[in-house]
Chain A
């Protein structure tokens, strides 16, 4: 047998995939919303935990990238989707079976579940066989299934299922109702009354007619009269029904563990591809990033906040994308500029990108290079009220201190409007100090601030600004661009609009 065990991990993760709990930074980066959307409607797979485990080595990331590469082929995607759909059906049948009372019925539901399973496995096997697969994941799966469908276990299951189902499918019977007497007999090809009536009156037909057939609500279970009838049908067909009973006893545990695991884990990819599909269709770029556990030269063009883009797209609003690049010893993006101009969104984007890259998934943007961090830290303003300004400042400092204690040079830090509620002097002093420490750590960081000075603390800091429409400074572009911090730019623009710049005012206030 082969060594394939998982479509998510290139080698046995050794218990790492046990439910780890949501990372601290999820809410700040709005990744909680993303995961909520990914798992919605897929509750049966219990997927959330799979999105909480970042990968730290490039090979593990590549394993997923290659699987995604195969999934880019429509044929692979649809083969997998069909399989997943069938497995869902199978589980639905088993769940319903558990609620039924009459033995003949329970057995038939079980048979049907097994038949769906067998067909699903065979269909997947056939389709994978005809496809050009490249990833180790899918090649491993194919090899595994090749072996599995040849196994005695599977072939016996398939043969038994087919034989018993065919026998039952061929059962025909007739019921004669007269007063309170019910007689069940074999069916003997008596003529269909509705066909005869149709034939007689067809000559009058002028056009389309209404469908008068009642739609009956179908319950899975049956009443005692139906059950009595079924017992008599079984009596009319004793061998067929004995075959069914035997089948159930023999194939109680038909589901293969590795197949079951694949069925769950492949959803990790499918959910994400489905989630980003409407965004891609709107023309937003996604790319598999070049990842490195060493180089901190990161960058992306046309990238955006995934959670926000999903919301905007469903509201039919447009999405603004941004670029960033860090080269050589550049590590820290210091973002300033007018408020509500997209600074926080930009910061979140940077954090999201690094986490999504660690999951081995496509990330928003084109030409993306990212670093696989050991950890991600975020510092966003807290919602809860803290009585005094001093209390708030101190609380912030505590949290930042804690982060700096734990962070390493391999961490990613997202600092959003730190010290936003303190005096400029304090913000400059403390902010500069914090940034210097981050510089010393050599960690990647986005630092959103209103303090210009923080952007020029060394060669590792890069200044970026949120921007406005030049002619109408009240309108934000939500573009964050690389340029020197200039806290006066916004004031100058708005002054010009009202004719209050120096030049304009000189002319207006003529002598």
Chain B
């Protein structure tokens, strides 16, 4: 019995390694605010959402599978919450049974396993009921399969079978175990056996064996007997405890997978409250270069400010380099982040913060951001930047997306430009898509002058009145002149040229 709500044909992998650039992505794209809004205080949802975002899907069909389930969840938020809640309650009830199976004796493992299973059975019955009530409201292949499976597997004969087992495990008629002898003539291989139903008379006249009785005062004898029982019960206790684990695993997986959709529901509700649009993106199979979005905004920024944010339009199909220049405080970083977030959300099967988006699926998202704001030109900083770029180079492959924010600004512009030029040229040739935010005119202009078909140049501009909001629009790099301006402002004089 598999939930298969995250993938059509396999479990969601909670143990898969996150990509090595996980920390950089989380930090640079400020994923915490996105995940926080999805989790709404629930740690499990936070973890599941983290993994779903960072372990990107690469197949447009797999993305569409989740999109269809998510669309139904957005329509039926109450059912999603009930399913998540039921799985949570079942697991909580299991936990309420006292006793740590780790150090316990087989008999106490068996006792607590039977108790847990009795509790689980109630929740399985409720789950079955939910399937009966709601299955007709869902039409996506994922949910149809899921509900059909519950109704088929959890039928009355099955519940009766479980009850029978639970009854047998109370040992009203004593315990029957088989055994053989070790090479030291000790009993071994104790295996609990199902007893034949025997009438009283049959039992009285059964002469097939020999028996003895432990005298009442023989304490050692009773200890020995109890030790024998422990051995006898060992395998059955193991089977029962594993059965509990199976059912536990089932509820856990259900909670995990439905938890992702609940997280998406939470996020959609928040954004709707804030009056922001969301849209299911169109994923384009890897190979083609697609990036066309309208009203694309930075979801994380929106979640942390009280004011509306400006969405940008971008038309960068067929472009492998998008270079963004322009005024400070002009929204360059915000734009870069909105693209990165949209890419990750798309490949998690989520909606994105935009009116619409069409984007190609990539093999991995990488970020290379200037780490600190201060401008001092120490060599250690450049070392650090180069080291990070070198780590990226170790892992990045063609058809990945690299977001650079003021990379190589830790040294002077000439050096920084030269390094960036070489890095960029190499990555672009390798087939990596790069969005590069920079204030290095020398660098941006160099690329612009060559006027390559595969590059798009965007510029951040202040609104016409010089105030917010800022917009990003197509525009060639401009030489910055604020240095001279500043000089003049401070010295009240022109620079001698």
A interface with B by C-beta (< 8 Å) = 104-105, 107-109, 111-112, 165, 168-169, 171-187, 190-198, 200-207, 209-214, 216, 218, 220, 222-226, 228-230, 232-233, 235-236
Contact = CB atoms under 8 A, between A and B. Distances in A.
B224 A226 contact: yes
A193 to B, nearest CB: 5
B279 interface: no
Contacts of A176: 174-176, 195, 209
Contact of A201 (B213, B246, B253): B246
Given A182-B211, A201-B246, A222-B186, A194 B221 contact: no
11 contacts: A174-B178, A177-B174, A182-B225, A196-B194, A200-B161, A202-B246, A204-B243, A204-B246, A206-B2, A212-B238, A225-B228
Contact of A172 (B176, B180, B235): B180
Contacts of A207: 11, 249
Contact of B249 (A180, A204, A226): A204
Interface string B199-234: 000000000111111111000111011011111101
Nearest to A206: B249
Nearest to A180: B214
A224 B215 CA distance: 12
A333 to B, nearest CB: 58
Interface stretch (B101-109, B304-312, B403-411, B414-422): B101-109
A225 B228 CA distance: 9
B221 A225 contact: yes
A109 B186 CA distance: 10
B14 to A, nearest CB: 9
Contacts of A165: 183
Interface string B170-202: 000111111111011111000111111000000
A185 B252 contact: no
Q: Closest 4 A-B residue pairs measured CB to CB?
A: A178-B174, A185-B209, A206-B249, A201-B243
A172 B178 contact: yes
A466 to B, nearest CB: 47
Nearest to B244: A201
A190 B178 contact: yes
B153 A177 contact: no
A319 to B, nearest CB: 39
Contacts of A191: 193-194
A172 B220 CA distance: 26
Contacts of B230: 214, 216
B65 interface: no
Interface in B240-289: 240-243, 245-247, 249-250, 252-253
A184 B211 contact: yes
Interface of B: 1-2, 11, 101, 105-106, 109, 153, 161-162, 165, 168-169, 173-181, 183-187, 191-196, 208-216, 220-222, 224-225, 227-232, 234-243, 245-247, 249-250, 252-253
A222 B193 CA distance: 24
Contacts of B242: 198, 201, 209-210, 212
Nearest to B11: A206
A105 B186 contact: yes
Nearest to B215: A180
Nearest to A104: B185
B118 to A, nearest CB: 14
A184 B210 contact: yes
A171 B211 contact: no
Contacts of B105: 214
A184 B245 CA distance: 34
B246 A183 contact: no
Contacts of A205: 246, 249
A248 B73 CA distance: 77
A201 B2 CA distance: 13
A243 to B, nearest CB: 13
Contacts of A111: 183
B221 A224 contact: yes
A472 B489 CA distance: 65
Given A190-B193, A197-B243, A206-B253, A178 B173 contact: yes
A239 to B, nearest CB: 15
A172 B177 CA distance: 11
Given A206-B252, A209-B245, A214 B225 contact: no
A178 B176 CA distance: 9
A66 to B, nearest CB: 39
Contacts of A112: 183-184
Nearest to B194: A191
A168 B178 contact: no
A200 B243 contact: yes
B192 A193 contact: yes
A174 B174 CA distance: 13
A233 B181 contact: yes
Contacts of B101: 212
A260 to B, nearest CB: 22
Given A195-B239, A223-B220, A225-B228, 8 more contacts: A105-B185, A109-B185, A173-B180, A178-B175, A181-B211, A185-B208, A191-B194, A225-B225
A186 B209 contact: yes
